[in-house]
Amino acid sequence: MSHIRKSFDRRDFLRATAGTTVALAAASVTGAAATSAAAAAPASLSIPKDRLGIQLYSIRDKVSALGFGVVLPELARIGYKEIEFAGYTQNTSILGRQITLPEIRELLDDNGLRAVGSHVGIGNFRSNLQGELDAAQILGMPHVGTANAPTNVNTVAGYRAAADEFNVWGAAATARGLKLYQHNHAGEFAFATDQPSVRLYDVFLKNTDPRHVYLELDIYWAYVGQYRYPGFDPAAYVRNQPYRYPLFHMKDGDANSANANGFDIVEFGAGDLPYEKFVRDIGPRASHVGIWEQDTAPNTQPNPPGSLGAAERSFTALKGLLG
């Protein structure tokens, strides 16, 4: 794999960042948060602590600038096991060309990592479904999904039509041995504009085929949805249909009444979302891969380590939460 890394000396990068990362980790609030979380965690959890993943959008600045050949080994060193993609490209100056999917797969394998899923634009499923499924299979991922809302037509009929579309894509994914998933933001928990007593997310769940369409619950955005559109419990969705939720986004939020969402996105362990209660309330059935995401991580200072420092501290806090 030396041909993939030839434009960057990873040892220089680690020398530049390791000391800062360790110092920041020691000074962060995640140590205390992890200790209390571990003490409160139930004996049996459905989120395996040995399969923690990362959504690469969280460290998109490092992927673009340094490349997969530097970033993936560093994530393996931290302890992440599962990788969720947010695109398959890096700066072309690293190799003098774009990296290929087989090269990314080789880097995953070399570092003991697994591709668990990928966020794909919903338009790609409409225009290039088989190509996206091909990419998923090359990378060895069991899931492929989208972070787009099912539709921007926020009516009952609009969400039923979107469910029909997802059922077609999901059946195609199932035929290839894959699971198609949809990742929520807050808007899916709003009420239908034509039937204000009906929650859009419920329409999507009811009308998608559980054999072919799965969900990735973004826990932060679910609690934002609860704040903006009250009347539901995020954990209850998982508890009632546990096998439909193979993936979680474990993103933390700090309460802020000045933010229209009710919370600011922060490093895991630095917020006050009720994660201890959530992991207890979802119950022990099924298995859900916990994936760390922090949209704001590239703004982390000092940089270096920047977003990779946030990734390391958040990994420590997640491990503490799960015991």
Q: How far apart are CA 117 and CA 139, in angstroms?
A: 9
| The predicted structure's pLDDT at residue 31 | 36
∠120-126-127 over CA atoms, to 5°?
95
Q: How far apart are CA 193 and CA 182, in angstroms?
A: 21
Q: What is the pLDDT of residues 120-167, one digit of tens each?
A: 999 999 999 999 999 999 999 999 999 999 999 999 999 999 999 999
Q: What is the pLDDT of residues 284-321, one digit of tens each?
A: 999 999 999 999 999 999 999 999 999 999 999 999 99
Residue 41 confidence (pLDDT) above 60? no
Burial class (CB in 10 A: 0-12, 13-18, 19+), 150: buried
pLDDT band at residue 45 using 50, 70 and 90 as cut-offs: confident
pTM: 0.88
Give the DSSP H or E segment for 213. strand 213-218
pLDDT band at residue 44 using 50, 70 and 90 as cut-offs: low
| The predicted structure's pLDDT at residue 2 | 43
pLDDT band at residue 34 using 50, 70 and 90 as cut-offs: very low
Give the DSSP H or E segment for 18. helix 10-27
Q: What's the mean pLDDT in 74-102?
A: 98
Residue 5 confidence (pLDDT) above 90? no
| The predicted structure's pLDDT at residue 112 | 98
∠92-93-99 over CA atoms, to 5°?
35
